[in-house]
Amino acid sequence: MIQSIRTKVPAFYATALAFLSAGLMNIPSVNAQSLPPVETQAANTKYKPAFAGQTRVAGVKTKTPYSVVILSKTLEHPWAIAPLPDGRFLITQKMGTMCIVNAAGKTVKNITGLPEVVPDGQGGLLDVALDPQFATNRMIYWDYSEQTTGGTLLAIAKGKLSADESKVENIQVIYRATPAYKGSLQFGSRIVFDKNGDLFVTTGERSGSDIRMKAQALDAAIGKVIHITKAGKPVPGGPFANTPNAKPEIFALGLRSPEGLAINPATGELWESEFGPRGGDEINIIRRGKNYGWPVVTYGLEYSGDKVGAGIQQKEGVQQPVYYWDPVLSPSGIVFYNSNVIPEWKGNLFVGGLSSMHIARLVIKNNKVVGEERLLKSEGERFRALTVGKDGALYAVTDSGRLYRVAKK
């Protein structure tokens, strides 16, 4: 049943200038329409950003009246949501099933018979992506945690959604991110198709202090963005294709726990969201052959409060995040809003927050974050994945099993 929980007509709040005059905020170079940064809590560290606007930018507020509706409360630990061509949604559920939900939020199909997953910890059935030619070939691609010799790993599979939508046919595992590890944390992972129909996939570095340096190793597929064909082979001409002992499918390295991936439709560039440790959650632009630093370079701390390694935030040859949070957002799925329904949102990046329990709206200009807003904070939900529907609404699934629709009034 659809439940309308509230409608919201954003109002103009006091300007940053007013806060400055009251001595409550210290915000440099704001304009008359700026709001204070949305983050007011003390940071975990005293680390300094590499450039102005890399963290705690001015706040913004959506002016367009919008409504927030809960379409469903009965999903079972959803992890990913993909829009189908007819306006319905394909949703993965952590324990190992998929379902199809219609525009009203009703589950109309349950899909079973998928490969067995290991749903412990942060594992389970994870992302799903439709083939760019899904309307004609009905192929879907997904990833999941798989038990294998030596532990668990991230596996990527493909198959054809049956005509009756009850099962996936001719399933093939096309790739496994090695090495396996005896742990249940930080698998990644998101799947995005590039303009040529090949797959970008993020892989986590599995968290353990005894393995996380593999994020810097070119002979390991963990802590990376990999670039593979639909058959699971390395896309030819990769940045490390001619490097001895390197996995030729590696596109970028030095990632920790990358749970968000999206292509910016305005530029064609690949953007990623990444869990830091204690502080240091990041938004990155992923570029060919680049190193994103983990665990050598980070704006976060160990959970114990100790420095990570030498406590370095900047290093030659390591890419800086476009934006970072401290304290953490716990970023999961991300999506660029590319509809004209809410014009002020067009080109904005929306980020699902888990421990922060809100959706972050980031205003992007010239590849920099220039404004931040918190949406749905009052819901108290862990926002796992986001998408934009055919109707121009923003849809979100939460760990508790809710499906939200955020739409223009």
Q: Give 38-99 as a DSSP string.
A: S--SPPS--PPPSSTTSSSPPB----S-EEEEEEES--SSEEEEEE-TTS-EEEEETTTEEE
Question: 233, 229, 321, 247: which is closest to 289 by C-alpha?
Answer: 247
Number of helical H runs and strand E runs in the chain: 2, 25
Q: Which pLDDT score, from 0 to 100, does residue 12 have? A: 36
Give the SS3 label for residue 370.
strand
Q: Give 147-185 as a DSSP string.
A: EETTEEEEEEEEEEE-TTSSBEEEEEEEEEEEEEES--S
Cβ(89)–Cβ(107) under 8 Å? no
| Residues 6 or more apart whose Cβ sits within 8 Å of residue 22 | none
Q: In this structure, what token pair is assigned to residue 113? A: 């018979």
Per-residue pLDDT of the chain (409 residues; tens, 9 = 90+): 444 443 343 433 333 333 333 333 333 333 435 799 999 999 999 999 999 999 999 999 999 999 999 999 999 999 999 999 999 999 999 999 999 999 999 999 999 899 999 999 999 999 999 999 999 999 999 999 999 999 999 999 999 999 999 999 999 999 999 999 999 999 999 999 999 999 999 999 999 999 999 999 999 999 999 999 999 999 999 999 999 999 999 999 999 999 999 999 999 999 999 999 999 999 999 999 999 999 999 999 999 999 999 999 999 999 999 999 999 999 999 999 999 999 999 999 999 999 999 999 999 999 999 999 999 999 999 999 999 999 999 999 999 999 999 999 9
Q: Which pLDDT score, from 0 to 100, does residue 45 have? A: 96
- Tell the CATH topology of 3-408: Neuraminidase (2.120.10)
Residue type, 115: P
Cβ(351)–Cβ(366) under 8 Å? no
End-to-end CA distance of the chain: 19
Q: Whole-structure pTM over 0.75, yes or no?
A: yes
Q: Which pLDDT score, from 0 to 100, does residue 31 have? A: 40
Q: Which pLDDT score, from 0 to 100, does residue 317 have? A: 97
pLDDT of 4-49, one tens digit each?
A: 443 343 433 333 333 333 333 333 333 435 799 999 999 999 999 9
Give the SS3 label for residue 322.
coil
Cβ(312)–Cβ(336) under 8 Å? no
Q: Which pLDDT score, from 0 to 100, does residue 33 have? A: 59
Count the Cβ atoms, other than its own, within 10 Å of residue 215: 24
For the chain, the domains span: 3-408
Q: Which pLDDT score, from 0 to 100, does residue 80 have? A: 98
Q: Give 179-217 as a DSSP string.
A: EEES--S--EEEEEE-TTS-EEEEE---S-TTTGGGGG-
Percent helix, strand, coil in the chain, to 5, is: 5, 40, 55
Q: Which pLDDT score, from 0 to 100, does residue 34 have? A: 78
Cβ(245)–Cβ(218) under 8 Å? yes
Q: Which pLDDT score, from 0 to 100, does residue 97 have? A: 97
Count the Cβ atoms, other than its own, within 10 Å of residue 29: 9
pLDDT of 191-220, one tens digit each?
A: 999 999 999 999 999 999 999 999 999 999
CA 190, 82, 196 angle in degrees (round to 5)?
Answer: 65
Residue type, 217: A
Q: Which pLDDT score, from 0 to 100, does residue 67 have? A: 98
Per-residue three-class SS string for 2-40? CEEEEEECCCCCCCHHHHHHHCCCCCCCCCCCCECCCCC
